[in-house]
Every structure is written in structure tokens, then in C-alpha cells.
Amino acid sequence: MGRLAGKRALVTGAASGIGEATARLFAKEGARVLMTDLNAERGQAICEEIRAEGGEALFLAGNLVDEALPKELAALVEAEFEGRLEVLANCGGILIQGPFLEQTDEDLDRLMKINFRGAIRMMRQFIPVMVEGGGGSIINVTSISAQWPEVNSYFYGAAKAALNVTSRNIAKEFAGTGVRVNCIQPGPVNTGMTPQEVKDDPALMQGLLDHFCMLGRMGRPEDIAYGALYLASDESSWVTGTDLVIDGGACISN
């Protein structure tokens, strides 16, 4: 307990999956957490659960494609967090899959707007806040699809790869300011983005486990959240510009 005591954190995509697990864990470890997600009802419910368990949390509903969202969050940081932010966890994102010849320009644009540009806008808004405060940790959740060929995840992987590369460049630019920027690359994690046909078909699920999950199970959102906790904490004060792969051995499955 208390690994993030005294820190103020912003978590996107906080109403489900990895974002929810990260927000809950950050609060449990002592951070004051500002949560945002498109799902207002679910996000507010999670926020209230965190408070009921003794944590400190705020929630603001918003869409990552909305240019105004970072500024709205910044206003809350100013009002509720004394204008300080030590941790930014960009967990929000979507998954669009399909055969290459069936993927559309609209699919590509949507993935880039949410999975790439959404995180870029958050960093652009809050890096100056972190610099002024003496430093901070940015954690961008990407995917092993960014570096490992995965049929049907063409544009999804491209958006995540773009975020990986940009994160490393930003880490280099701001290394002297105390702002650290790292990525987490999850493997197969059982979240709301797991295709329903896989969840509903035991044979498909077992095939996924047999082929990709060397440790014998799908990942859980908490598995990724614990990696985010390390990167958010002072324990990782000498870590920046890296990609932390948490994949149950998927990258060594072939």
C-alpha cells in the first residue's frame, strides 16, 4: 500500500478493462485519481466504488476524439489537484479488426484519432504541467500488435506503433525535465475488446490460449495495471523511453 501516496494521476479509458483496473489500483496505492471515459454511467459508478473503499477519485465523461477534453481535464486538475499532475496513464482506446482488403479509410481514421491522437493531445496538454511541477510519469498503453505481425489488426497495430515511436521521441526530448514517458505493450488480455465470438466459443478461446498464451491463461486487466503501477511509482525513476511487454509469453509463441 502507498506506492503512489501523494501523487495525482489521470487515467483515460477508466470505465472498463485496463483503464478501470489501473484507476482502481492507483487509488488503492494512495494516488488521487482523475478518471475519464466515454461511458459516463459506468465511469461514475467505478469512481463512487473507489471512494467507498477509501480512495480519492473524480470522474469526467468525455470522448478522446473531442479536442476540448484535455482542456476540460486540465481545468479539473487546476481546481482539484492544485494544478499538479504526476502521472498520466493513457489507457483509452478501441479495437477494429478485419481482413486487410475490408478495412476502410474510416476504420483507419477512427483508430488514429482515438488510439494515437487522443494520447498525443493528453501529453501535449499535461507535459507542461509536469515540467512545471518538477517531473512526472506518462504511461501509454499500446499493444504487442505494434511490433508483432497479427492478421486482422493492420490499422490497430499501426496506430499503436505510431504511439510507441512518438513516446520514445518525447521521452528523449523531455528527459532533462524529470518527465518520463514509457509504453506498456499488452498481449491477449480478456477485456471488453476481446471479440465476443472468442468469448462465446470455448474452442476458439482454447485455440487462442494454446497458440498465444505460453503461461496458460489470458491476461487480466490487473496484470497490465501492475505494470502501470511500477512505471507510475518512484521505483521506476530511472526508466524512460522503454516498451514494457506484458504478454504472457505471446511474443515467443512462434
Question: 226 Cβ partners below 8 Å, 6+ apart?
Answer: 25
Total length of the chain: 254
Active site residues: 156
C-alpha cell at position 90 = 493513457
**Closest of 71, 31, 60, 18 to residue 188, by C-alpha:** 18
Cβ atoms of 75 and 36 closer than 8 Å? no
